[in-house]
Amino acid sequence: NAGVTQTPKFQVLKTGQSMTLQCAQDMNHEYMSWYRQDPGMGLRLIHYSVGAGITDQGEVPNGYNVSRSTTEDFPLRLLSAAPSQTSVYFCASSRYRSAANEKLFFGSGTQLSVL
């Protein structure tokens, strides 16, 4: 099994550009989520999904959109990139929709720079 796959690994954008970070898992997990990691701030939850067609906001959703049309895929869209969105982004999934008792499986991350 590949686990959680994120693409691309690195991306440089100009302010105002749009892009989509891809996340796919092959474990039939119900729960998927996106985090951003910034120095001294830990991981902050952007959006999450508890199943196909169901998404909700996390701690820092502004500037990001998500959708979940299939169980496997959970893309993160930046509609108009800003320098404040420079960060490392992680996708994570879990077997069941409730976070309690279930560990998260993480992708290897996407390093995004917005100039």
Q: How far is the CB of 112 from another protein (least distance, A)?
A: 15
Supply the Cα-derived Rg of the chain in whole angstroms: 13
Specify the residue for token string 């800003």.
Answer: 82
Q: Can residue 114 be called a binding residue for another protein (CB under 8 A)?
A: no
Q: Which of 15, 69, 70, 98 binds another protein (CB under 8 A)?
A: 98
Judge contact between 96 and 28, C-beta under 8 A.
Answer: no
Q: Which of 26, 59, 70, 84 binds another protein (CB under 8 A)?
A: 59
Q: Can residue 92 be called a binding residue for another protein (CB under 8 A)?
A: yes
Tokens encoding 96: 């069941």
Tokens encoding 38: 């910034």
Q: Can residue 109 be called a binding residue for another protein (CB under 8 A)?
A: yes
